[in-house]
Amino acid sequence: MSVLYVRVYPDPALKNKAKPVEQLDSNIKKLIADMGETMFAAQGVGLAAPQVGESCRVIVVCIPEKKDFSSYMALINPEIISAEGEDIAEEGCLSARDYRAQVMRAQKVKVCYLDETGSKCELIAQDLMARILQHEIDHLDGILFFERLSSIKRNLIKNRLRKLAKTAAGD
Ligand code: NI
């Protein structure tokens, strides 16, 4: 396993719609293991494959109830099949440095996906877990959390991140 480089906005890898996984081969299994390790190393609660430069529909999420960073689950080709309620809470993203903002999400979601063995699964998540799933599935469609904000807040964060990226590139 290895810790992968996490792409930061405005990296183009974050903007593309990721491709569905057709075959659950050893490459995907290795990617999942590496993504799990990368998420823990960065102390994140979720990570999507485009964030490590892989255009495929794979996410890993920590399991909030367990409150330790040693367990995670992988969801392959995840899809939100129903959503209800509204919930607003602060979010950040490993691809947006230290920026955080209040984001409106559905309070409860039902998600279908393939697990690591290729079995079709469904889960119902609420609150924090529902939020993490919505945030990570957005990444698979090239959407970052600040794109869910009002245009004023969104542009503020984008401009600051672009400036930071320029400064970093000039180092
Ligand atoms: Ni994120």
What's the CA gap between 133 and 140, in Å, rounded? 11
- Is 75 domain-assigned? yes
Long-range pairs for 67-71: beta carbons < 8 A, 24 or more residues apart: 69/40, 69/43, 70/40
Q: Is residue 2 part of a domain?
A: no
In a domain, 113, yes or no: yes
Q: Is residue 6 part of a domain?
A: no
Q: Quick one: pLDDT at residue 131?
A: 97
Query: What does the alpha-carbon distance between residue 141 and residue 15 come to, in Å, rounded to a whole number?
Result: 8
User: In CATH, what number is assigned to the domain containing residue 164?
Assistant: 3.90.45.10
pLDDT score, position 63: 81
Ligand 1 center from residue 95 Cα (angstroms): 6
How far, in Å, from the CA of 46 to the mean position of ligand 1? 7
Instruction: Measure 152 CA to ligand 1 centroid, in angstroms.
Output: 20
Determine the pLDDT at residue 31. 97
Q: How many CB atoms lie within 10 A of CB 62?
A: 24
Position 70 scores a pLDDT of: 66
Q: Domain total for the chain?
A: 1
User: What is the distance in A from the centroid of ligand 1 to the CA of 155?
Assistant: 17
pTM: 0.93
Could you tell me the two tokens for 96? 């947006």
pLDDT in the model for residue 64: 65
Cβ–Cβ < 8 Å for 92, 8 = no
> Is 136 known to be catalytic?
yes
Instruction: Give the domain extent around 115.
Output: 12-169
CB 110 within 8 A of CB 122: yes
Task: Assess if residue 111 is contained within a domain.
Answer: yes
Q: Could you say which residues of the chain have pLDDT below 70?
A: 64-70, 171
- The pair phi, psi for residue 24, each rounded to 5°, is -85, 75
pLDDT at position 71? 82
Q: Would you say residue 157 lies in a domain?
A: yes
Alpha-carbon distance values, 167 to 161, 164, 171 (Å): 10, 5, 7
Per-residue pLDDT at 171: 56
- CA 86 to ligand 1 center in whole angstroms: 20
| Residue 7 belongs to some domain of the structure | no
- Please tell me which residue in 22, 90, 91, 136 is annotated as part of the active site: 136
CA of 4 to the centre of ligand 1 (A): 15
* Residue 83, domain member (yes or no): yes
Closest CA to 111 of 99, 98, 121: 121
Q: What is the pLDDT of residue 67?
A: 60
